[in-house]
């Protein structure tokens, strides 16, 4: 075994065995009291919560970090300029004091802008916030800051069912919704999946290390050399096409993969529709939207059983296979390639997890809650979907420019319209 393969396996061991980090952060958190700088205290508490979110001590630590965030946010508020929110959408306009508007905000860096808004408390009197985090658990410095300032209930769409339970430890203002980032894929954009399946294996992911492309390269060394394998995605940081080729060379399969950088949305749908199966090999991330996109395109998914990925909730007997910790990835790939036609992936996805269906479910949940607490509901949430982390309305004639301009004028925050 060469040095790179050894290095990859060591990194993978650390990545998948985070009890070491849990123990380390549990030890370090005991010394926070002697650290004078608030920024570093918050970072240490944040690390503890990320790796020990199930610990009995976690709610106490969360309360401490929220208190610290109250102090650290003051300077940001005093120096506020107009904030521009991207990857966000006004789902419902403001009607009255008894019928608030609804604004969905995704990604932590966008929530941070809202959290640092001087008029946040005025804003939340008129608009209920739905936060869509990009990772799990949903803890982040932006979230602590937001939590330290809000006075009204807000919603959160955690990245997995596991994270739903965390809302109980956050407090009564944090209300969970049973959706995640991959709940908002537009299934209408995917045509019948019974076409030409000329790609055996596809992996659609950015080129970061946590996506673990090398596991596919390792498996390919044990599979037929005649397979057509496509890796599509975007370079990230110092990881690019050359990084993947170098890893593939160390497993002797560099000449057996086709790498496509920065594919367009149309290219992605075409590639997924032509693929017999999709490999999702991360150990941990947020929702992993491409998994659901592959299901809508009719490509069943392979994912590890111990993966901490939101869209794993959608992998079932009709949509793909889970690889056990002691099972060989190559064996599961071989089985799926021989039986991909037996899966009913696209039909299941379109019937259960499309953005159209979830828009209706979301509207019903929000309506029921609003009426339950004594508010009114005369206008529904506008059905929407997400593509490339941007939000769009199904009804192309629906425009919210006036509402966004009103928000900008009164609260100094510009919600960009796609």
Weakest mean pLDDT among 10-24, 161-175, 206-220? 10-24
CB 94 within 8 Å of CB 101: yes
The per-residue pLDDT for range 127-174, each reduced to its tens digit, is 999 999 999 999 999 999 999 999 999 999 999 888 888 888 898 999
* Percent of the chain scoring above 90 in pLDDT: 72
Share of the chain above pLDDT 70, in %: 92
Question: Would you state the structure tokens that stand for residue 327, as one six-digit string?
Answer: 């099972």
Who has greater pLDDT, 190 or 34?
Answer: 190
* Predicted local confidence at residue 78, as pLDDT: 52
Cα-trace Rg, the chain: 23
Task: Tell me the three state secondary structure of residue 367.
Answer: helix
Q: Give the pLDDT of residue 417.
A: 77
Show the DSSP H helices in 141-284 as ranges. Answer: 141-149, 161-164, 167-170, 213-220, 241-249, 265-273
Q: What is the CATH number of domain 187-352?
A: 3.40.50.2000
How many angstroms separate the CA atoms of 117 and 290, rounded? 33
Closest CA to 219 of 382, 372, 328, 360: 328
5 pLDDT more than 80: no
Task: List Cβ neighbours of 62 (8 Å cut-off, separation of 6 or more).
Answer: 49, 139, 144, 169, 170
Cβ burial, residue 270 (10 Å; 0-12/13-18/19+): middle
**pLDDT at residue 279, as a whole number:** 98
pLDDT at residue number 175: 96
pLDDT of residue 418: 72
Q: Which residue has the higher pLDDT, 290 or 76?
A: 290
Q: What is the 3-state secondary structure (H, E, C) of 273-315?
A: HCEEEEEECCCECCCCHHHHHHHHCCCCEEEECCCECHHHHHC
Contacts of 361 (CB under 8 A, 6+ apart): 179
Residue 21, pLDDT score: 63
Q: CA angle, corner 353, sides to 146 and 156, nearest 5?
A: 10
What per-residue confidence (pLDDT) applies to 1?
Answer: 56
pLDDT in the model for residue 397: 83
Count CB neighbours of 50 within 10 A.
18
Q: Which residues contact 170 (CB under 8 A, 6 or more apart)?
A: 62, 147
Q: What is the pLDDT of residues 55-84, one digit of tens each?
A: 678 888 888 889 888 877 755 555 567 789
Whether 338 shows a pLDDT value over 60: the answer reads yes
Q: What angle do CA 32, 35, 39 make, to 5 degrees?
A: 90
Name which of 370, 402, 407, 375 is nearest 120 in CA terms.
Answer: 407
What are the structure tokens assigned to 343, written together?
Answer: 């899966």
On the question of pLDDT at 19 being above 80, the answer is: no
250 alpha carbon, distance to own chain's centre: 31
Residue spans of the domains in the chain: they are: 17-72, 80-181+354-415, 187-352
Q: Which helix (H) or strand (E) holds 233?
A: strand 229-233
Specify the higher pLDDT residue, 390 or 28: 390
- State residue 130's pLDDT score: 98
């Amino acid at each position: 075994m060469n040095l790179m393969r050894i290095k990859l396996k060591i990194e993978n061991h650390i990545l998948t065995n985070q009890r070491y980090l849990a123990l380390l952060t549990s030890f370090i958190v005991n010394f926070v009291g002697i650290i004078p700088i608030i920024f570093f205290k918050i970072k240490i508490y944040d690390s503890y919560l990320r790796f020990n979110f199930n610990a009995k001590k976690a709610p106490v630590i969360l309360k401490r970090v929220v208190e610290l965030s109250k102090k650290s946010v003051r300077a940001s508020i005093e120096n506020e300029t107009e904030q521009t929110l991207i990857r966000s959408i006004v789902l419902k306009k403001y009607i009255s004091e008894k019928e608030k508007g609804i604004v969905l905000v995704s990604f932590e860096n966008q929530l941070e802008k809202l959290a640092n808004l001087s008029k946040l408390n005025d804003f939340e009197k008129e608009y209920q916030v739905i936060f869509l985090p990009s990772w799990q658990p949903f803890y982040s410095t932006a979230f602590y800051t937001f939590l330290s300032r809000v006075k009204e209930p807000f919603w959160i769409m955690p990245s997995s069912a596991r994270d739903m339970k965390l809302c109980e430890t956050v407090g009564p203002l944090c209300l969970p919704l049973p959706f995640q980032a991959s709940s908002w894929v537009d299934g209408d954009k995917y045509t019948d999946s019974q076409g030409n399946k000329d790609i055996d294996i596809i992996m659609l992911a950015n080129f970061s290390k946590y996506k673990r492309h090398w596991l596919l390269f390792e498996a390919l060394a044990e599979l037929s050399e005649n397979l057509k394998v496509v890796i599509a995605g975007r370079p990230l940081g110092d990881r690019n096409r050359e990084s993947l080729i170098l890893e593939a060379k160390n497993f002797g399969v560099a000449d057996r993969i086709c790498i496509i950088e920065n594919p367009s949305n149309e290219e992605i749908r075409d590639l997924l529709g032509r693929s017999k199966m999709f490999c999702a090999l991360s150990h941990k991330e947020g929702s992993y939207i491409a998994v659901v996109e592959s299901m809508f395109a009719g490509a069943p998914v392979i994912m590890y059983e111990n993966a901490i990925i939101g869209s794993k909730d959608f992998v079932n007997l009709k949509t793909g296979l889970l690889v056990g910790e002691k099972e060989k990835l190559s064996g599961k790939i071989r089985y799926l390639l021989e039986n991909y036609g037996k899966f009913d992936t696209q039909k299941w996805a379109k019937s259960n997890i499309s953005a159209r269906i979830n828009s209706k479910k979301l509207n019903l949940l929000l309506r029921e809650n609003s009426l339950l607490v004594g508010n009114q509901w005369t206008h529904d949430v506008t059905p929407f979907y997400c593509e490339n982390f941007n939000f769009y309305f199904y009804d192309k004639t629906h425009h919210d420019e006036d509402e966004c301009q009103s928000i900008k004028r009164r609260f100094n925050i510009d919600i960009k319209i796609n």
